[in-house]
Amino acid sequence: MNDVLKITDLHVSVEGKPILKGVNLTIQKGETHALMGPNGSGKSTLGLVIMGHPKYEVTSGSIELNQIDILEMEADERARAGIFLAFQRPIAIPGVKMADFLRHATSNVRNPNRKEGEDLIAMKDFRKELKSKMGQLKMNTEFARRYVNDGFSGGEQKRAEILQLAMLGPKFAILDETDSGLDADAVKLASQSIAEIGREKMGLLIITHHDKLLESNPPEFAHVMLGGQIVETGGAELAEELYSNGYDRIRTKYPDASADNTAMEESETVGA
């Protein structure tokens, strides 16, 4: 069966305030989707909601993975079911070594029924695989002994996210501005790494302001988000247009969504 991630009329609030207002999006295995839009449009929220962040309340709509509703699942169950989110701002876990963290993560995702305290994947195999994946990403092996995201530079954080993507091999991956903070070479490596995992083996949702990742991963679909809705969907040419010309045309065409977006953007600024 072909894997499908299907989001239907998704409405999401934070502390009673609506953020997503009816998002529809279907991603099939092997497809790459670009999700673009101005600040505050709800792109990152969508990524976090798909992953199951407890802060967001889904007020209506559904998210289905292969026709199974995942909204009732905890984030770890979703991860084990094959969903992955590369965080825009990865969280530091001081004192926890990358290798230990990744070994637990990999064990759980590959053996979704694994219970706490049960065997982890064999150390020898794990080390070998980790070393080879780190090699592909041109990461120093010392990286595995560092604490998760603790004191990482922006580029290191993003590489570490790609490394996790490579180790976990999900069915669907959401990359939230994974290209920001990376220089051109690093973006190339990240793209190669995604190619290595096999774009045809998973569905990709790439959230981006830039076109760096999209250059080497040309999307079949591009979506524009504005004011908590996907207002327009097209092909790679739409992504190119938005990258070159910005969102003026979109804002003019969808004045209501644009007004919503402006309001959300402002409250985001106040909140920050």
* 142 is a contact residue toward other proteins (CB under 8 A): no
Q: Judge whether 224 and 231 are in contact, CB under 8 Å.
A: yes
CA atoms of 220 and 236, how far apart (whole Å): 6
Residue with Cβ nearer other proteins (6 or 97): 97
* 241 is a contact residue toward other proteins (CB under 8 A): no
Which range, of 26-34, 72-80, 123-131, 223-231, touches other proteins by CB under 8 A? 72-80
Residue with Cβ nearer other proteins (100 or 265): 100
Residue 135 phi, psi dihedral angles, 5° rounding: -60, -45
* 236 is a contact residue toward other proteins (CB under 8 A): no
* 12 is a contact residue toward other proteins (CB under 8 A): no
Locate the DSSP E strands across 98-152.
Answer: 147-148
Count of beta carbons in the 10 Å neighbourhood of residue 205? 26
* 122 is a contact residue toward other proteins (CB under 8 A): no
Q: Which amino acid is at 81?
A: A
Q: What is the pairing mode between strands 32-36 and 203-207?
A: parallel
Minimum gap (Å) between residue 212 Cβ and other proteins: 24
Minimum gap (Å) between residue 116 Cβ and other proteins: 5
- Which residue of 4, 105, 121, 236 would you call a contact of other proteins, by CB under 8 A? 105
Count of beta carbons in the 10 Å neighbourhood of residue 192? 15
Q: Among all chains, which residue has been given the structure tokens 């992953």?
A: 51
* 87 is a contact residue toward other proteins (CB under 8 A): yes
Torsion sign across C-alpha atoms 56, 60, 62, 68: positive
Positions that interact with other proteins (CB under 8 A): 51-55, 74-76, 78-80, 84-85, 87, 90-91, 93-96, 100-101, 104-105, 108-109, 112, 115-117, 147-148, 164, 168
